[in-house]
A and B are shown apart, each in its own frame.
Chain A
Amino acid sequence: MTTTTYGWLVLAFPLLGTLVTAFGFRVLPGRTAGWIGTGAIFLAFLAALGALISLQGHASGDRQLVSSLWNYASTTGIDAQMSILVDPLSVFMILVVSGVSTLIHLYSISYMDKDRGFVRYFSYLNFFVFSMLLLVLAGNFLLLIVGWAFVGAASYLLISFWYRRTTATKAGIKAFVINVLGDAGLVLGTYFIFKHTGTLDFLKSFHAVESTTHPAFGHGTNNGDLVAGCLLLLVGAFAKSAQIPLHTWLPDAMEGPTPVSSLIHAATMVTAGVYLIARMHPLFERAPAAQDVGAIVGAATLLIAGTIGLAQTDIKRVIAYSTMSQIGYMIMGVSVGAYAAGLFHLMTHAFFKALLFMAAGSIIGAMGGEQSLNKMGGFRKAMPFTYACFIIGGLALSGIPPFSGFFSKDEILLVTGERGGWHWILYVAGYIGAFFTAVYTFRMIFRAFHGEPVAEARELEAGHLHHADVPRNPANGEDEDTDVGFPGPEHAIAERALPMRIAMGLLALGAVGAGLIQIPKVDFVVDDFLRPSFATAKGYEPHTKTGLLVIGLTLGTLIGLAGIGLAYRIWIVGGKELKASTAIRERTRPLYELFLNKWYFDELIDALVVKPMAVAGAFARDTFERMFVDDTLVGGTTGIVRAGSAAVRAAQSGFVRYYAALLVLGVTGVGFYFLLQT
């Protein structure tokens, strides 16, 4: 089996899973759809492993393999093929995606067990995984765009999974619209690049750009078209990865089921932007202006999301902003050239963020569907396993050694610092963000698990899982319509469901141990593995100055511990009825309002974009459509026809004599004509 065959298998299995569950909707008994879905993704993971092993069997210079199934179209100048590119970068991504997806599918089997939309859920989820795999395996811009769009569609389907909730449907639409904006950027960026390289294929395109004899965009850097193309690609990346200012969809996307949040909005889809920039690195390296934009936006998002996370009360939204912040790190990383570091952080982040979301799903289950931190407390005794997972995930997220987050995050910041110049600002911002991260993560953990146990916790300690009498929408408190089958009266918690425990346990192992494969100056597994993909990247080799390295690592640890300590001080020591945090809140009221309202981005976008569009639409409907099209064009045409036929109708007088006269006149005329002829 060739490497690329493994690549096609990786795509085929989830697609099969989607089709089987979708078409077997009525016939599949019980919960088999869940096992089919999980099995499909697991097979994809195995195929990805196969691809990995077989890829490493090739010589290191020969590790970028393209395989094409057929030509879509061969019109002049456009080579549209159905081709995949199997190289270390894509194999890395498919391993992460399929691996984490398998575990999340497993988790979902228990979590969505009582849901009436069970089969639909697994069908959508498999479709999502297929699209994501297509995105990362794509060998040309065409399939990339196709995968990109599919992922957006799958995200929409899954966010508005419980479609009888207006909040969910609105969130789905919001996510989709912003993603489409990104799609437009992606397509336009592709056009700009295609204009000069003349090919849609990745490898050919990169060769054209990097060629020393006839480089596609000229010999210098920052060619206008290239910068424009890269900036548009960045628009796509920002929309998909929820960076400022296209980030507003991510917190709302928490309306979807928790495993969906875990898969799509933590581990896989939002990392598509990072993958994009990493894949397009030859282009970005020739357009440093775009790289700088990416780095700045990443850093800004990192900080802003961190501050917002400090003030949120919905547990899932806290984790969502944390995701946004960590993706900011990754974007910053790949924008400054730390490709291996950024992708490594992608991997570790997938582990611990998915773990955190799963654990959050568990505690939400214990709360009977309630998601607000204000109502949680003291679950430590009732849910030890979940608590342990939260702690592990939180430590990894905060960057405490020896957990994986420490190594990956600090490596990014290291490379950023080494770039020098104005990148020091980003370096500092990164550590400030790390501080925030630690604070809000442990705020969440301490508030949920420490302190006085709430009623639900006491119930659980007594052995009975709480469930709400009337299911309510956690976002706005309105009663739920359970027709579409919300996780029913019995929610699932990790302590009771084996599949959930297995999934979370494996992820916890990953969160703990994954860092060991890339300890600075010790081993370089990820670096070495990815090198063939980044053969032409400048600054790929980590030439880490030891001094900076030591400073960075100690600083990172200290900041993480300081954050945890602060959180401890506020929420455990001063945690009695939140005295300390309320006091702080009162003192920093304006800041608190700003953070709570998400820096007013939603309102800003609403005023700048949504309202003008609505006005334009109303104008188009009332004035243009009604007056111009309806009355003038349509009415005018019918009026003309009516008038014409009225004129003709006047000839139908009904008088036979008139008709006879016309006849004779006609004959006369014809005879006259023939007379003239002779």
Chain B
Amino acid sequence: MSISWYLAVSAIVFSLGAVGVMTRRNPLVVLLCLELMLNGGNLALIAFSRMWGNGDGQILAIVVMTVAACEVCIGLGMIVAIYRRHLPIDVDELRELQG
């Protein structure tokens, strides 16, 4: 299949992730959808790397995964902390920044 197919898949996955971020109320699921977006980006990176024929995209994809891992670590840690303080696990309830 030509590269454009892969790019199409990547676009679909990315926008699905975006829809999920905007729509879900559970912060864990929001983070999951964020992972989706990252993966969509990864796929695009690998596809372009294949197109050019050098490994830059792959390196970047690995770095993206690293970043995703770190972000997941911190994000989940925060959610656990929120949970431990008996606050509701609901992004709509956590509205301290309102104003």
Residues of A within 8 A of B (CB): 649, 652-657, 660-661, 664
Q: Is the CB of A657 within 8 A of B95?
A: no
Report if B98 contacts A (CB, 8 A). yes
Q: How far is the CA of A581 from the CA of B71 in the complex (A)?
A: 112
Residues of A within 8 A of B95 (CB): 653-655
Q: Is the CB of A653 within 8 A of B98?
A: yes
Residues of A within 8 A of B21 (CB): 657, 660, 664
Residues of B within 8 A of A657 (CB): 21-23, 25, 30, 91-92
Residues of B within 8 A of A (CB): 18, 21-23, 25, 30, 91-92, 94-99
Residues of A within 8 A of B18 (CB): 660, 664
Residues of A within 8 A of B96 (CB): 654
A436–chain B nearest beta-carbon distance, Å:
84
Residues of B within 8 A of A652 (CB): 97-99
Interface class of chain A by DSSP: helix
Q: How far is the CA of A656 from the CA of B95 in the complex (A)?
A: 8
Q: How far is the CA of A654 from the CA of B95 in the complex (A)?
A: 5
7 nearest A-B pairs in the assembled complex, by CB-CB distance: A654-B98, A654-B95, A661-B22, A656-B91, A660-B21, A664-B18, A654-B97
Interface class of chain B by DSSP: loop
B92–chain A nearest beta-carbon distance, Å:
6
Q: How far is the CA of A415 from the CA of B21 in the complex (A)?
A: 108
B20–chain A nearest beta-carbon distance, Å:
10
Q: How far is the CA of A649 from the CA of B99 in the complex (A)?
A: 6
Residues of A within 8 A of B23 (CB): 657
Q: How far is the CA of A662 from the CA of B22 in the complex (A)?
A: 9
**Closest residue to A655 on the B side, CB-wise?**
B92
B73–chain A nearest beta-carbon distance, Å:
19
Q: Is the CB of B99 within 8 A of A664?
A: no
**Closest residue to B99 on the A side, CB-wise?**
A652
A671–chain B nearest beta-carbon distance, Å:
11
Q: How far is the CA of A664 from the CA of B17 in the complex (A)?
A: 11
Q: How far is the CA of A664 from the CA of B23 in the complex (A)?
A: 12
A100–chain B nearest beta-carbon distance, Å:
77
**Closest residue to A659 on the B side, CB-wise?**
B97
Residues of A within 8 A of B25 (CB): 657
Residues of B within 8 A of A655 (CB): 91-92, 95
**Closest residue to B24 on the A side, CB-wise?**
A657
Q: How far is the CA of A657 from the CA of B33 in the complex (A)?
A: 12
Q: Is the CB of B22 within 8 A of A654?
A: no
Q: How far is the CA of A649 from the CA of B98 in the complex (A)?
A: 9
**Closest residue to A667 on the B side, CB-wise?**
B18
Q: Given the interface contacts A655-B91, A655-B92, does A660 sit within 8 Å of B97 by beta carbon?
A: no
Q: How far is the CA of A652 from the CA of B21 in the complex (A)?
A: 18
Known: A654-B97, A654-B98. 20 other contacts (CB 8 A): A649-B99, A652-B98, A652-B99, A653-B98, A654-B99, A655-B91, A656-B91, A657-B21, A657-B22, A657-B25, A657-B30, A657-B91, A657-B92, A660-B21, A660-B22, A660-B30, A661-B22, A664-B18, A664-B21, A664-B22
Q: How far is the CA of A553 from the CA of B96 in the complex (A)?
A: 104
Residues of A within 8 A of B91 (CB): 655-657
Q: How far is the CA of A661 from the CA of B23 in the complex (A)?
A: 9
**Closest residue to B27 on the A side, CB-wise?**
A656
CB<8 Å pairs between A and B, sample of 16: A652-B97, A654-B95, A654-B98, A654-B99, A655-B91, A655-B95, A656-B30, A656-B91, A656-B94, A657-B21, A657-B23, A657-B30, A657-B91, A660-B18, A661-B22, A664-B18
B27–chain A nearest beta-carbon distance, Å:
8
A53–chain B nearest beta-carbon distance, Å:
86
Q: How far is the CA of A653 from the CA of B98 in the complex (A)?
A: 5
Residues of B within 8 A of A654 (CB): 95-99
**Closest residue to A660 on the B side, CB-wise?**
B21
B72–chain A nearest beta-carbon distance, Å:
17
A189–chain B nearest beta-carbon distance, Å:
65
A393–chain B nearest beta-carbon distance, Å:
85
B37–chain A nearest beta-carbon distance, Å:
10
A137–chain B nearest beta-carbon distance, Å:
71
**Closest residue to A649 on the B side, CB-wise?**
B99
Q: How far is the CA of A649 from the CA of B95 in the complex (A)?
A: 14
Q: How far is the CA of A653 from the CA of B25 in the complex (A)?
A: 15
B13–chain A nearest beta-carbon distance, Å:
14
A124–chain B nearest beta-carbon distance, Å:
62
Q: Which of B25, B96, B97 has the most CB of A within 10 A?
A: B97
B21–chain A nearest beta-carbon distance, Å:
5
B35–chain A nearest beta-carbon distance, Å:
14
Q: How far is the CA of A653 from the CA of B91 in the complex (A)?
A: 12
Q: How far is the CA of A661 from the CA of B20 in the complex (A)?
A: 10
B60–chain A nearest beta-carbon distance, Å:
19
Residues of B within 8 A of A664 (CB): 18, 21-22
Q: How far is the CA of A653 from the CA of B21 in the complex (A)?
A: 17
Q: How far is the CA of A380 from the CA of B83 in the complex (A)?
A: 110
Q: How far is the CA of A497 from the CA of B99 in the complex (A)?
A: 83
Q: How far is the CA of A652 from the CA of B98 in the complex (A)?
A: 6
Q: How far is the CA of A654 from the CA of B90 in the complex (A)?
A: 12
Q: How far is the CA of A655 from the CA of B96 in the complex (A)?
A: 9
Q: How far is the CA of A664 from the CA of B25 in the complex (A)?
A: 17
Residues of B within 8 A of A660 (CB): 18, 21-22, 30
Q: How far is the CA of A352 from the CA of B44 in the complex (A)?
A: 111
B32–chain A nearest beta-carbon distance, Å:
14
Residues of B within 8 A of A649 (CB): 99
A642–chain B nearest beta-carbon distance, Å:
15
**Closest residue to A653 on the B side, CB-wise?**
B98
Q: How far is the CA of A654 from the CA of B97 in the complex (A)?
A: 5
Q: How far is the CA of A635 from the CA of B59 in the complex (A)?
A: 60
Q: How far is the CA of A656 from the CA of B23 in the complex (A)?
A: 11
**Closest residue to A658 on the B side, CB-wise?**
B22
Q: How far is the CA of A652 from the CA of B97 in the complex (A)?
A: 8
Q: How far is the CA of A10 from the CA of B88 in the complex (A)?
A: 91
A81–chain B nearest beta-carbon distance, Å:
65
B80–chain A nearest beta-carbon distance, Å:
18
Q: How far is the CA of A656 from the CA of B94 in the complex (A)?
A: 8
Q: How far is the CA of A655 from the CA of B93 in the complex (A)?
A: 8
Q: How far is the CA of A439 from the CA of B96 in the complex (A)?
A: 94
Q: How far is the CA of A51 from the CA of B60 in the complex (A)?
A: 96
Q: How far is the CA of A664 from the CA of B92 in the complex (A)?
A: 18
A672–chain B nearest beta-carbon distance, Å:
14
Residues of A within 8 A of B30 (CB): 656-657, 660
Q: How far is the CA of A655 from the CA of B97 in the complex (A)?
A: 8
Q: How far is the CA of A655 from the CA of B98 in the complex (A)?
A: 8
Q: How far is the CA of A86 from the CA of B94 in the complex (A)?
A: 88
**Closest residue to B23 on the A side, CB-wise?**
A657
